[in-house]
Amino acid sequence: MTKNILVLHTGGTISMTADEMGHVNSSNDNPMNHVAVELNDFNITTIDLFNVPSPHITEYHMYELYQKIKAIGANYDGIVITHGTDTLEETAYFLDTMNVPSIPIVITGAMRSSNELGSDGIYNYLSALRVAGHPKSLGKGVLVVMNDEIHAAKYVTKTHTTNVSTFQTPTHGPLGIIMKHEILFFQTAEPRVRFDLDHIQGTIPIIKAYAGMGDGILRLLRASHIDGVVIEALGAGNLPPEAAKTLITLAQEGLPIVLVSRCFNGIAEPVYAYQGGGADLATNGIMFVKELNSQKARLKLLIAINAGLEGQTLSEYIEG
């Protein structure tokens, strides 16, 4: 049976070329549009939605991508999105939190431009098509396919600046792998709350804690027009006392403050009861996000605010 797959190109290294000096830049003609797909039973529709490097991606691009998928996605059996790797995990998480059609949605990219020796773009693209067209991919949320691995959008992160195996899932590991002739899943994705937003806006900075951190930058937040803040705390979720004191004041004044750990593995949780410890912070209104890194926690809070969540409902969603 022929599978109808929608391919949405958004730019990134997978669409770029390197010049004679080795400098990589965007190409006006996406090389993936010229890939001879050697997969049987696939009917592919391609749309160049935008062509930007992933550091240029904003939540507005993510929202535009969501609106396109919402408008036409149900007409297809699966969707493949090509994307730059620097912010790929954020776009994947954003889409995974939206009310998208119940079809496989796969995001992929490349660590080497299309004309570099050992380029991984075409292989990742063909792998993503295979996963998007596979019945086992249904019901697993938005998937990230890179380097023969299948990852859940919620947990995957970029771990290396240049290595082709950069995308990893700390703590949990990948959902599955891509074999020569099969797609093998050995985990399933968790249920998730999905939103149908009619807009996206807001300013939520990310601040990383460090030894000896004071409250200077945090006091500046009081004079800023922001909608919330994400803190990358130490260890299981702890802060230096001076920084903690000011954050607690901001939380009590009504600013939503979300906390994650700056550790690569593990879960932030309110354990320590000393001043600035996680238990102290949680008691005073700081919300702990489980299992997400700071960039995804920022999107979680941004989405929740745009969905109109506040008070106890906001806390339950953020900490759930």
CA separation, residue 51 to residues 108, 287, 293 (Å): 15, 36, 26
pLDDT at 117 over 90: no
Percentage of the chain beyond pLDDT 90 is: 80
pLDDT of residue 188: 85
The pLDDT tens digits for 295-310 are: 999 999 999 999 999 9
Percentage of the chain beyond pLDDT 70 is: 97
Task: Tell me: is residue 48 an annotated ligand-binding position.
Answer: no
Cα gap 29→119, rounded to integer Å? 17
Q: Which of 10, 46, 58, 85 is catalytic?
A: 85
Task: Tell me: is residue 196 an annotated ligand-binding position.
Answer: no
Give the number of other CB atoms < 10 A from CB of residue 161: 9
Give 120's pLDDT tier (boundaries 50, 70, 90): confident
pLDDT of residue 17: 74
| Sheet of strand 42-48: strand arrangement | 42-48, 3-9, 78-82, 105-108, 143-146, 149-152, 176-178, 183-185
Average pLDDT over residues 241-261: 96
* Amino acid in position 18: A
Cα gap 290→122, rounded to integer Å? 35
Residues 6+ apart with CB under 8 A from 42: 2, 3, 5, 129, 133
- 3-185 belongs to which homologous superfamily? L-asparaginase, N-terminal domain (3.40.50.1170)
Predicted TM-score of the model (pTM): 0.94
pLDDT at 4 over 80: yes
Mean pLDDT, the chain, rounded, equals 93
pLDDT of residue 30: 77
Strand 42-48 vs strand 3-9: parallel, antiparallel, or unpaired?
parallel
The CATH code of the domain at 206-319 is 3.40.50.40
Residues 6+ apart with CB under 8 A from 23: none
pLDDT at 32 over 80: no
Domain edges within the chain: 3-185, 206-319
Give the number of other CB atoms < 10 A from CB of residue 264: 11
Give the number of other CB atoms < 10 A from CB of residue 219: 12
pLDDT of residue 36: 67
Tell me whether domains 3-185 and 206-319 share a fold. yes
pLDDT at 26 over 90: no
Give 14's pLDDT tier (boundaries 50, 70, 90): confident
Cα gap 127→133, rounded to integer Å? 10
Task: Tell me: is residue 27 an annotated ligand-binding position.
Answer: no
Q: Which of 10, 13, 82, 169 is catalytic?
A: 13
Average pLDDT over residues 10-39: 74
The structure tokens listed for 201 are: 């806006």
DSSP 58: -
The structure tokens listed for 143 are: 């998937």
pLDDT at 149 over 80: yes
pLDDT of residue 274: 97
Which H/E stretch holds residue 6?
strand 3-9
pLDDT at 228 over 70: yes
- Alpha carbon 48 to chain centroid distance? 21
Query: Which residue reads 């759930």 in tokens?
Result: 320
Query: Is 85 part of the annotated catalytic residue set?
Result: yes
CB 51 within 8 A of CB 15: yes
